[in-house]
Structure 1
Amino acid sequence: PGGKNACCSVSTSQELHKDTSLLYNFNWDHCGKMKPACKRHFIQDTCLYECSPNLGPWIQQVNDSWRRERFRNVPLCKEDCESWWEDCRTSYTCKSDWHKGWNWTSGSNKCPAQAVCRTFESYFPTPAALCEGLWSHSYQVSQYSRGSGRCIQMWFEPAQGNPNEEVARFYALAMTSRAMLHGIGPLLLSLALMLQLWLLD
């Protein structure tokens, strides 16, 4: 899917569907073939990460060697997290945090020495453990449901518009007003107190 506020450009989408994506040289099949139902969540996750203009409110500056910014605590709709976990629980991996600790000597990620390939469910016993732990808290599982306008959907039908636009607007406004409250709050409070004293005189 391409176009305005699309999840991904056509070339990015095609690239992500390969077993080892050239985007990061990241190999999802590091513990044998990942099941297609599971892999599609990772394709969608990378799509969202790479291409969504609606994750702005959750961008943080970082000082990693390989990037300057990251997302943190994006509120992922609970059903999207649950179906990700359900579709992946019987696929295999060797790590519970995929952000770091891989062996990259071959050019793509391999399991580190002594890491054992086990089911996702043994590394991620709950949906929250998967969605929040996998990328070091890039996501936070929301208590809100799809369509609530309060959580980011990994899956949506582009023809019906992008529901994540409304979510991004809501949180951007909330964060802006919170920042203003912290910045201007003490000033307003002291002005209110001065006004009260003046009225009492």
Structure 2
Amino acid sequence: MALPMTTQLLLLLVWVAAVQAALPRTDLNVCMDAKHYKQKPGPEDTLHEQCSPWKENSCCSLTTSQEAHKDISHLYRFNWDHCGRMEAVRKRHFIQDTCLCECSPNLGPWIQQVDQSWSKEQILDVPLCKEDCPCRWEDCHPSYTCKTNWHKGWNCTSGFNQCPVEAACRPFDFYFPTPEALCNEIWSHSYKVSNYSRGSGRCIQMWFDPAQGNPNEEVARFYAEAMNRAGLGGACSLLLCLALTLLWLLS
């Protein structure tokens, strides 16, 4: 016996939703749904210092770019000097990191949904160019920290992050014994060191010369197309399974 029309429509809606859920998010020009981000990327007349490469098309405002350069900004109340003063030559790496995360519209293929008070989305395993991490690791050697993951687990009773009572301040290479450990682990695996070099079109650059264009646009396009192909294969398999089930229910 054929199913009622309302039941058929309900099954069709479930079918469509399931196929959509099977496809990855592969936006090429998008801002994360999170605190301080613009709803849509667009040009900014000026962005502050290390955020300036993204002024032609940015997810951050001038105010956000200025706050990204402060020791304890209103963005996330993060204190770079939690184990003594971090010198400017080392701090610049983390400011570049912040600028990339806050300003780049080219992180769509790696955006994941999360359930956090300050963010509905975050990035995961963004492939960084292999040259960027050794440089950061070498510069940060003389600095001290007390944690491997800077995203969570801090003592924030003072209004900004301080080391937990049981965490000792030690040189960076104690908590991050390799460049890969530093880039991969410090922000809950938001980034992942790749085997690709700058200019390959296969890795995201933390910093680039805006006069030469934004190389991360090509990278996002490559991974979006790859994810679409993989996602389409999985969705087609699911589609076939659902189609057969629907035909059986309607027979």
Return the TM-score normalized by structure 1: 0.88
Matched, 1:140 2:192: yes
For 1:102, the aligned partner's letter is W
| TM superposition shift of 1:89 | 1.7
CA contact (8 A) 1:60 1:70 kept: yes
Report what 1:59 is aligned to. Answer: 111
Unaligned runs of 5+ in 2: 1-51, 241-251
Q: Does 1:164 align with 2:216?
A: yes
Question: Matched residues in 1 for 2:207 and 2:160: separation?
Answer: 27
Query: Partner residue of 1:198?
Result: none
Mapped partners of 1:75, 1:163: distance in 2 = 13
Is it true that 1:76 corresponds to 2:141 in the alignment? no
CA positional deviation for 1:187 = 7.1
Residue deviations 1:115-147 (CA, integer Å, cap 9, x gap) = 111111111000011001101110010000011
Aligned to 1:37: 89
What RMSD over aligned residues (CA atoms) do the two structures have, in Å? 1.6
Cα pair 1:6 1:158 within 8 Å, conserved: no
Letter in 2 for 1:121: D
What secondary structure sits across from 2:166 in the alignment? coil
Q: Tell me if the contact between 1:25 and 1:108 (Cα under 8 Å) persists in the aligned partners.
A: yes
Percent of pairs with identical residues: 68
Matches of 2:59 and 2:91, distance apart in 1: 17
* Number of the residue aligned with 2:152: 100
Aligned length, in residue pairs: 188
In structure 1, what is the Cα distance between the partners aligned to 2:82 and 2:168?
11
Q: Which gives a bigger RCO, structure 1 or 2 (Cα 8 Å, sep 6+)?
A: 2
CA distance in 2, matches of 1:8, 1:58: 18
Report if the CA contact (8 A) 1:5-1:162 is conserved. Answer: no
Secondary structure, aligned partner of 2:106: helix
Q: What TM-score comes out, normalization by structure 2 length?
A: 0.71
Kindly tell me: are residues 65 and 9 of structure 1, through their superposed partners in 2, closer, same or farther at Cα, counting changes over 3 Å?
closer
2:171 corresponding residue in structure 1:
119
Q: What is the letter of the counterpart of residue 140 of structure 2? A: C
Partner of 1:149: 201
